[in-house]
Chain A
């Protein structure tokens, strides 16, 4: 039932993506540069930096569920790193890396990835249309019989997120989104803001989760924040 309205919605989403300004406070270049060094080299000898998994351009590895970090909100990235470090957000892989960083370094590396242009996604097989339509229904409409608000009510119809409260999901790795929803559904992810997502995820079936993840991943990612237009010294 996407029909003409669906197409229109997609056009609106695109429009939204195009006019999405960089509303977050711009970090200063020194922070961004320091953050890039952390991403490239890590902070402890013998340990890799963030780029080993999330790549230096912040593209992540969508196929295996390693999320894109480029262009996410600075405060959101900073906050999640501190949740990983404290264990409030449980993740066996991220925890040791987050704990290597002090608060200042977390801020710097967050500033770096937040400043990056969103890389062009690698061509992937398009998910089946019925799955996308099911995902679009849940993202835009929620489910009245499950008493579930739509995802768009917090993340926006274009999936661009709002500040540090709701992260941008448009163009994010489908495998990553599905994993987070599954973790909330199973109760294994419980960061302080997780009460919202846990309540939502409990109302989603595994099939719904796959559909939502596929649809959000297919939405156009936000355009580059302004700060990356200038070339930083290597």
Chain B
């Protein structure tokens, strides 16, 4: 195992001579792509060892690709981890797991303390998956952590790896605009994600994820930040044609997407204005603002947070009855 990974990388000629041994050059063909061409390369699937640890890595990968099937007790929408962490957490510029794994423990302003990698994963379930956070040490988190650890094989810790997260995006030439965003959406996004943004399925399974509505991420998720969404979109959307939208178009369409109805922020205090002040007090969040005559986050028009399917919740350990 130890030797297998570098051998594979060498065999494909991806190791860059000299400098940091973990850097490799990818085949990013789109010259306009904002993703750095030189970045860490995770080991291939074929390098997953046939050991108990390897089994855990595979379980993690299954969860990552099909959380609604393999982690149903914690998932409240129809998204998959791999909808945003493209190529199942491998793709540079799409928040790859190898970049995240080596960046923890880290202080996060989102909750004001140092988070372990596992705690960071809890946040994904609570916000992006609009579900329930597994308890620390839960097998679901152990599997996902094992998968991320495997992908980060050979990467240095404490280094901001090129290709980690989403590529930084300059401010838009003119202020981002909802109406222009709607136009960008109709022309570039709607054929896959649907005019209504609710995604599309085939054979009973979601193919194109919902960008808003009850089956999408909730108001607490990172993708609800216009800045994050614009960075992701510019680097990765339309799928396979990353870098084809302009900086302005990316900001406009991100503004459009993040001005739609989506599930409630699970940190909702009971008051939209207070929740905005406490958790969304910045220009990148539309929460609590009025769009098309409605206040985003208003419970009257906002699907609930933390919904998990009845079947999944009844399969979870029964809560202790107090009466």
Contact = CB atoms under 8 A, between A and B. Distances in A.
Interface in A137-169: 137, 141-150, 152-158, 160-163, 165-166
A146 B26 contact: yes
B240 A145 contact: no
Given A144-B42, A156-B205, A160-B203, A195 B241 contact: yes
Interface stretch (B86-94, B167-175, B271-279, B295-303): B86-94
A190 interface: no
A162 B207 contact: yes
Interface in B223-245: 238-242
A8 B138 CA distance: 24
Contacts of A155: 202, 207
A1 interface: yes
B203 A199 contact: no
A108 to B, nearest CB: 25
B239 A154 contact: yes
Interface in A31-70: none
B113 interface: no
Contacts of B205: 12, 16, 156-158
A160 B239 contact: no
- Interface core residue of B86, B238, B240, B241 (most chain A CB under 10 Å): B240
Interface in B21-72: 24, 26-30, 33, 35, 41-42, 45-46, 48, 58, 62
Given A145-B27, A154-B239, A1 B48 contact: yes
B200 interface: yes
A132 to B, nearest CB: 15
B88 to A, nearest CB: 6
Interface in B89-123: 90-92, 96
A27 to B, nearest CB: 20
Given A145-B12, A153-B207, A199 B240 contact: yes
The interface residues of chain B, by DSSP majority, are classed as loop
A95 interface: no
A109 B6 CA distance: 55
B200 A147 contact: no
Contacts, number: 103
A144 B48 contact: no
B28 to A, nearest CB: 5
B238 A162 contact: no
Contact of A158 (B87, B96, B200, B203): B203
Interface residues of A, number: 41
A165 B239 CA distance: 13
A145 B29 CA distance: 11
B142 interface: no
A154 B192 contact: yes
A19 interface: yes
A222 interface: yes
Nearest to B236: A149
A161 B207 CA distance: 9
A208 to B, nearest CB: 13
Interface of A: 1, 5, 12, 15-17, 19-21, 137, 141-150, 152-158, 160-163, 165-166, 193, 195-196, 199-200, 202-203, 222
19 contacts: A15-B204, A21-B204, A144-B41, A144-B90, A144-B91, A146-B27, A147-B28, A148-B87, A149-B86, A149-B87, A153-B239, A154-B207, A155-B202, A158-B202, A162-B202, A163-B200, A165-B192, A199-B240, A203-B29
